[in-house]
Structure 1
Amino acid sequence: MKNIIFLFLAAAFTISCGEEINKSSISDLNSEKATLVNQIDSLNILLKVVENQLLKLDTTKKLHVVTVLPVKNELFKHYIEIQGVVQADKNIEIKPEFGGTVIAIYVKEGQRVFAGQTLIQLDDIAIKNSISELTTQLNLAKTTFDRQQRLWDQKIGSEMQYLQAKAQKESLENNLASLKTQAKKMKIIAPFSGIVDEVFPRIGELTSPQSPTVRLLNLDNVYIEADVTETYLPVVKIGTETILNFPSIGKEVESKITQIGNYINPDNRSFKARINISNKDNTIKPNLLADLKIVDFKREGLVIPSTLVQKDQKGNDYVFTLKTENNENVVIKKLIKISKEYNNEVFITEGLEATDTLVNKGARIVKAGDIVRVNN
């Protein structure tokens, strides 16, 4: 078939070119020219048919080799990324209510203590002496009051003596209670269970209400505090999913936003967001930096790699897909619309179907209408 067509073309060309033209008038030459043009057009049409036939029959033709990728139909999430700082509600420096000299330290740094446990004892000898003296006076006042009360019950003695004895007893009772309260405050007591992180004074040093004595922490539950720009007020709410990454310790935690601030900071146009997290192993420390990823878009739909998206001269986004025609893989250009992009993936809202097959490797070297070979 191929040889016959080529022989026919060669003969027609030779005859047309070799035929002697013996024309003298312009009209005859124009007529001859028209005949030759018609022959050329006919031969071009025949040549095109032959070339198409050769293209189908030639097994040695060189085709672009590509790989394919299916369109994924899955849940797509887009995140905003900011930084936050670890905080702990139970992270305090304990200061004494009254000044005094440290006479005993009952704990060491790093030691776990319990709520109500005495940590440091301040010198309370003066208060104890006053308590002892008041106790003696109170015992006498009680005896005097009891006798006056018995006499008053028998209508003996004056009411004034009875009332004075009663007032004396009650005054001493109140003074004694105040001294006992002061004596308790000479003990530095743990307000909650936790770990002693630092002990500031030494035995013999004088403390004051302005000076911390013990830093006490409980890191079983901590929280992340971050500033979020006001632009995200419509999407960042209580319960919004978050991923917390702590690069310094190589730890990642999934959580949700616990609290949203109601105040916009005029200096940086941001609001506070708080995320509570459990920290039973105590690996997350206060003031540790955290990288936050907060979900601001979440939808089920078509997702493809962003590397496959191209732009045409009009600025339209498009991808190449494959369509099988006559047992051949034909490249199809499809215009698409992208809603969100994150982590090298894009969410497609228009232009693709879940059944489409994308041209993956080789997408940059093919064009619409190309016949390609798929490498599996």
Structure 2
Amino acid sequence: MKKFALIIISFFVVIACQNKPQSNLNDMIAQKKIIAKQIDSLNKQLILLDKSIAKLDTTQSLQLVTTISLKPTIFKHFIAIQGFVGTDKNSIIKPEVSGTIKAVLVKESQHVNKGDALIKLDDTLIKDNIAEVKTQLALAVTTFNRQARLWEQKIGSEMQYLQAKANKESLDNKLATLKTQLSKSTITAPFSGTIDAIIPNVGELVSPVSPVIRLVNLDDVYVEADVSENYIGKIKKGDEAKVYFESLDKTFETKIAQVADFIDPNNRSFKVKIFINNQDQSLKPNLIATIKINDFTVNSAITLPSSIVQEDQKGNNFVYTLQQENKAYKVVKTLVVKGLSYNDYTYIQSGLTLNASVIEKGARGIKDGQIVSVLNQ
């Protein structure tokens, strides 16, 4: 068809060249318009002839396409956010009393149980004080008992009795305080876990503000993440979640355990927490995780590969479907309303029924009304 059009153009050019040069520019422009109209008319006639030939020529090669059989499926959409591993049992242990470290009773990476002794502080001074107070208390008890008997016999003054009683009670309290300090000179594990770090050495002086041991229990950890406030109404406790650790190449399928009610004004987000069983101890505090949270689900949905959902110049989404006419298959441009997309599939909200034959392969090289050959029919 293009060759024929070029011949016609050449013919008119030759005729134009054989004529005398135009002295008037307007005449030349008018002649150009006439020739253009004639070419356009011939092209239209060629198009009509091609269509007529295509209908009559049964030997021409039709474009091959494949179709998709639609069936209802579960469509799930997930949002992906970044989170970090944490644990409620990750503690820096500090002594409750000041003292010099006498002995470190554990080693790093050692497992300990709740209540096990970890560090022993020098308790010599406290023991000496206890011995001294016990001696004073023994005398105070004897004095108090004597004054009590005299007071019962109306001998002696009330003041002497009260002074003896107060002295005894004061020494009782002092002894109890010293015994408490003595018990605190041994630093024990507040929970079962693993010794992650031992900070001071034997002989160093420590106080209640001095960190001495990091104790970690990784049996049960959680992943915490900040989620944009745009999802505040879409994410709730119990929603499905997938937690992926790239450094370990491990995925955990679990559920949202907690959804915060507070939106951080600094980053306009709220926190979600997911608990994970960590029996193999592979998850460590502050390990980065990618969390995929299910924020949208349709239990009976029509979905299509996202690659075959197209958009025309007017912004309408469409797919190509097949309409059988006698023994031929005709391409039909079908407008659809698409929803969310996930994992290269798009949820089709409307525009298709389950009995529709949607063109998959070959959809990019066809047009509305074209006759095609179906490979999988």
Alpha-carbon distance in structure 1 between the residues aligned to 2:320 and 2:95: 74
Aligned equivalents of 1:256 and 1:364: distance in 2?
A: 41
Alignment of 1:261-300 (within 5 A): 261-300=260-299
AA of the residue aligned to 1:327 = K
Alignment correspondent of 2:348: 348
Aligned to 2:6: none
SS in 1 for 2:159: helix
Q: Distance in 2 between matches of 1:236 and 1:197?
A: 36
Matched, 1:359 2:341: no
CA shift, 1:270, in A, is: 2.0
Q: After TM superposition, list the pairs within 5 Å mapping 1:64-103 onto structure 2.
A: 64-103=63-102
Provide Cα deviations, 1:28-55, integer angstroms capped at 9, x if missing partner. xxxxxxxxxxxxxxxxx9x998974x44
- Find the counterpart in structure 2 of residue 10 from structure 1: none
| Aligned equivalents of 2:172, 2:337: Cα separation in 1 | 83
Alignment partner of 2:224: what SS?
strand
Q: Does 2:252 match 1:253?
A: yes
The equivalent of 2:119 in structure 1 is 120
**Structure 1: which amino acid aligns with 2:255?**
K
Q: 1:1-376 alignment to 2 at 5 Å?
A: 52=55, 54-55=56-57, 58=58, 60-300=59-299, 301-376=301-376
| Alpha-carbon distance in structure 2 between the residues aligned to 1:107 and 1:205 | 16
1:184-215 C-alpha deviation (Å, 9 max, x unpaired): 22111111111110001111122222221000
1:86 Cα deviation after fit? 1.3
CA distance in structure 2 between the aligned counterparts of 1:72 and 1:113, rounded to whole angstroms: 57
2:210 is paired with a residue of what secondary structure?
coil
TM superposition shift of 1:267: 2.8
- Partners of 2:351 and 2:225 in 1: how far apart? 39
In structure 2, distance between residues paired with 1:325 and 1:101: 96
Q: Which amino acid aligns with 2:331?
A: V
1:324-364 C-alpha deviation (Å, 9 max, x unpaired): 33233332221100111122111111111122222111111
Code of the aligned partner of 1:323:
Q
Q: Deviations along 1:145-168, whole A, 9 cap, x unmatched?
A: 333334444544443333222222
d(CA) in 1 for partners of 2:161, 2:81: 74
1:2-32 superposed Cα distances (whole Å, 9 cap, x missing partner): xxxxxxxxxxxxxxxxxxxxxxxxxxxxxxx
Q: Is the 8 A contact 2:54 2:60 kept in 1?
A: no
Offset, 1:63: 1.6
Q: Is the 8 A contact 1:337 1:348 kept in 2?
A: yes
Aligned equivalents of 2:78, 2:368: Cα separation in 1: 35
Residue ranges of structure 2 left out of the alignment (5+ in a row): 1-47
Q: State the aligned residue count.
A: 328
CA distance in 2, matches of 1:357, 1:78: 25
Change (3 A) 1:131 1:325: same
State the superposition RMSD in angstroms: 2.4
Would the alpha carbon gap of residues 312 and 226 (structure 1) be closer, same or farther in structure 2, given more than 3 Å must change?
A: same
SS of residue paired to 2:333: strand
Shift of 1:316: 1.1
CA contact (8 A) 1:321 1:359 kept: yes
How many percent of aligned residue pairs carry the same amino acid?
52
Where 1:231 maps in the other structure, the secondary structure is helix
Separation in 2 of the partners of 1:49 and 1:199? 91
User: Which is greater in Rg?
Assistant: 1
The 3-state SS of whatever aligns with 1:364 is helix
Q: Read off the aligned partner of 1:348 and give its amino acid letter.
A: I
* Structure 1 equivalent of residue 22 of structure 2: none
Aligned partners of 2:193 and 2:97: how far apart in 1?
23
- For 2:53 and 2:255, locate their aligned partners in 1 and report how far apart those are by CA, in whole Å: 68
The CA deviation at 1:226 is 1.5
Unaligned runs of 5+ in 1: 1-44
Pairwise CA distance, 1:109: 0.6
CA contact (8 A) 1:72 1:304 kept: no
